[in-house]
Amino acid sequence: MTRPIPVSFTAGASGDWHILAIHPVAGPPLAAAARLSVTSGEAPPPGLWTLTGSTSNARYATRAETDGLAARQQGLGRPAATRAALIPITKNPDWWALAQDERRAIFEERSRHTAIGMDYLPAIARRLHHCRELGGPFDFLTWFEFSPEAEPAFDAMLSRLRATEEWRFVAAEVDIRLARD
């Protein structure tokens, strides 16, 4: 585990990713733009909006779950992974008022968040960025990369996650789909 990596997502006229769609699942939308730029360790370019988060340590996964994920997941930047999704999420105050054991029980024992994600490895690569302590409107920014053929599986994964008890605590969610050449 390296130090946290700050990552910014900027929507505007430039960037490696074409924005295909911005769909507000819950809460307010984000402004439409042509492209998305992903930057780390440098100032983000000017744009219509920028969301910034930071990688961090896992907050719920046990050693067994962490090892299971590590054995199956693949990294970002695979040549065949020409589709991506950025999903900013905010959880409601009821979630943040829960104690650690209560959040863990909802997250995994009852909602099977990690177990559901495991079903889609290694096709769906994923990196979570935390931003609750950085200000701004969202608590989490999750970035996913996959091949065009895996997009139906990705949609199925989201449907399963959004049907869980954990998602009752989601106050805002935007689903941004992207493609690169």
Among 48, 23, 52, 24, CA closest to 38: 52
Q: CB of residue 113 vs a copy of itself: minimum separation in angstroms?
A: 13
When the beta carbons of 108 and 145 are compared against a copy of itself, the nearer one is 108
When the beta carbons of 82 and 136 are compared against a copy of itself, the nearer one is 136
Among 1, 28, 34, CA closest to 15: 34
Q: CB of residue 97 vs a copy of itself: minimum separation in angstroms?
A: 4
**DSSP assignment, residue 80?**
T
Q: CB of residue 122 vs a copy of itself: minimum separation in angstroms?
A: 20
Q: Which pair of structure tokens corresponds to residue 109?
A: 């024992």
Q: CB of residue 147 vs a copy of itself: minimum separation in angstroms?
A: 30
When the beta carbons of 77 and 93 are compared against a copy of itself, the nearer one is 93
Alpha helices for 41-168 (secondary structure H): 63-72, 93-96, 100-104, 113-118, 151-162
Q: CB of residue 102 vs a copy of itself: minimum separation in angstroms?
A: 6
Among 180, 179, 178, 177, CA closest to 23: 177
Give yes or no for a contact between 53 and 141, defined as CB atoms under 8 angstroms apart.
yes
When the beta carbons of 103 and 177 are compared against a copy of itself, the nearer one is 103
The SS3 call for residue 46 is: coil
When the beta carbons of 79 and 135 are compared against a copy of itself, the nearer one is 135
The SS3 call for residue 76 is: coil
When the beta carbons of 154 and 169 are compared against a copy of itself, the nearer one is 169
Q: Which residues bind a copy of itself (CB under 8 A)?
A: 1-2, 4, 6, 54, 56-63, 65-66, 93, 96-102, 104, 130, 132-135
**DSSP assignment, residue 97?**
T
Q: CB of residue 125 vs a copy of itself: minimum separation in angstroms?
A: 20
